[in-house]
């Protein structure tokens, strides 16, 4: 086996005896049929060090090995850009995305994106890979972004994300004082009329549910923690505007830009199961400097003489 590729291994247990390897990988470890087809064609499924067919049946104690695709060409040009790495292993790269950076190149943002930065980082390490972010956050939202380093990791995390098994927490500052200590915003979201960017709450939109908890109240603002059950585009921004407490700095959704020129929103924590080990992972991103300065400004509004 090629040492440059990631090797996934599993030792069969008693309940696996007599099961086809295909069934074990499909139902126990949620490998996709598409990935298994690629592995089959590349002869990348092994038992006790020898190639095997997926239709063969396993025995307790056998070591099932998968040689995962890691070295793959990408059409995203790498760039030597700063990258703040929160966690990395052979399956995952988790970064703290800065404000103003797009997660993935688009026709409007061809360079200086997180994708360009990550590909450039891998190129400098001699690890050509496809760029596979598990999720996206808005250009002017800072914080945690998870990137899979191979197709298996991407598929495993996407499976968790689709089923709501990944916990997502954000910090945000909204206009006005929210009296309730916690609450749930349960408004469906769709496109705003005549806009390809802006969203709005509408009854026939996609289900969207945001939990919030008050962390601190200022004279004219509230510091909140958000927990997302769903991951709709602009979800927190739309929901905050919908309860008449838009995020500070969010000019698209009628937020006050006096103290901040971007939405006061930070992707603070993601919790999930590691795609290979199944162990719980909790990744946190520290507060960016502009939000620390915002706190100072909000505190100063409450000082004597203000």
Give the DSSP per-residue string, 226-274.
EEESS--TTHHHHHHHHTT-PBTT-GGGT---SS-SS--EEEEEEEEE-
Both 168 and 239 in one domain: the answer is: yes
- For tokens 């000019």, name the residue: 251
Residue 72 lies in a domain: no
Q: Please state the rounded mean pLDDT for residues 98-120.
A: 94
- Tell me which of 174-178, 201-205, 299-303 is least confident: 299-303
Both 13 and 96 in one domain: the answer is: no
Both 149 and 11 in one domain: the answer is: no
Burial class (CB in 10 A: 0-12, 13-18, 19+), 117: buried
Both 96 and 209 in one domain: the answer is: yes
Residue 305 lies in a domain: no
Among 18, 40, 67, the domain boundary falls at: 67
Both 19 and 167 in one domain: the answer is: no
Residue 153 lies in a domain: yes
Residue 1 lies in a domain: no
What's the CA gap between 259 and 239, in Å, rounded?
21
Both 58 and 194 in one domain: the answer is: no
Q: Could you give the residue ranges of the DSSP H alpha helices within 68-113?
A: none
**Is residue 139 over pLDDT 50?**
yes
205: which residues sit within 8 A by CB, 6+ positions away?
188, 189, 190, 199
Both 107 and 41 in one domain: the answer is: no
Both 113 and 27 in one domain: the answer is: no
Active-site residue, selected from the candidate residues 16, 138, 187, 256: 138
Number of independent structural domains in the chain: 2
89 is catalytic: no
Both 160 and 240 in one domain: the answer is: yes
pTM, to two decimals: 0.86
- Tell me which of 26-35, 227-236, 242-251 is least confident: 26-35
Q: Rounded to the nearest 5°, which phi and psi values hold at 22?
A: -60, -45
Both 26 and 134 in one domain: the answer is: no
CATH number of the domain that residue 23 is part of? 3.10.290.10
Instruction: Give me the pLDDT at residue 2, please.
Output: 39
The SS3 call for residue 159 is: helix
Both 25 and 153 in one domain: the answer is: no
Residue 101 lies in a domain: yes
Residue 306 lies in a domain: no
Q: Distances from the Cα of 82 to the Cαs of 51, 54, 109, 173, in angstroms?
A: 42, 43, 17, 27
Both 43 and 136 in one domain: the answer is: no
What's the pLDDT band for 14 if we cut at 50, 70, 90? very high
The SS3 call for residue 46 is: strand
Q: Please state the rounded mean pLDDT for residues 266-288.
A: 96
**Is residue 3 over pLDDT 50?**
no
Range of the domain at 253: 85-300
191-199 contacts: CB < 8 A, separation 24 or more? Answer: 197/252, 198/234, 198/252, 198/253, 199/232, 199/233, 199/234, 199/237, 199/238
158: which residues sit within 8 A by CB, 6+ positions away?
134
């Amino acid at each position: 086996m090629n040492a440059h590729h990631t090797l996934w291994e599993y030792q069969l247990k008693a309940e696996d005896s007599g099961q086809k390897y295909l069934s074990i990988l499909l139902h126990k470890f949620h490998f996709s049929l598409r990935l298994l087809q690629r592995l089959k064609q590349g002869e990348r499924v092994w038992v006790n060090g020898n190639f095997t067919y997926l239709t063969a049946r396993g025995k307790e104690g056998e070591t099932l090995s998968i040689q995962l695709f890691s070295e793959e060409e990408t059409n995203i040009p790498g760039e030597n850009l700063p990258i703040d790495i929160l966690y990395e292993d052979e399956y995952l790269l988790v970064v703290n995305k800065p404000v103003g950076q797009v997660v993935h190149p688009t026709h409007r943002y061809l360079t200086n994106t997180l994708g360009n930065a990550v590909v450039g980082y891998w190129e400098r390490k001699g690890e050509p890979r496809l760029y596979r972010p598990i999720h996206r956050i808005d250009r002017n939202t800072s914080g945690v972004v998870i990137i899979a380093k191979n197709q298996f990791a991407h598929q495993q995390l996407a499976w968790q994300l689709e089923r709501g098994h990944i916990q997502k927490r954000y910090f945000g500052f909204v206009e006005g004082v929210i009296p309730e200590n916690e609450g749930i915003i349960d408004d469906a979201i769709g496109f705003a009329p005549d806009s390809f960017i802006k969203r709005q709450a509408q009854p026939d939109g996609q289900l969207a549910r945001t939990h919030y908890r008050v962390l601190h109240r200022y004279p004219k603002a509230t510091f909140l923690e958000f927990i997302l059950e769903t991951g709709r585009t602009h979800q927190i921004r739309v929901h905050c505007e919908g309860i008449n407490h838009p995020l500070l700095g969010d000019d698209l959704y009628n937020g006050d830009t006096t103290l901040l020129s971007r939405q006061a929103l930070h992707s603070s924590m993601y919790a999930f199961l590691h795609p290979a080990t199944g162990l719980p992972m909790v990744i946190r991103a520290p507060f960016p400097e502009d939000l620390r300065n915002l706190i100072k400004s909000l505190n100063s509004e409450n000082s004597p003489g203000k």
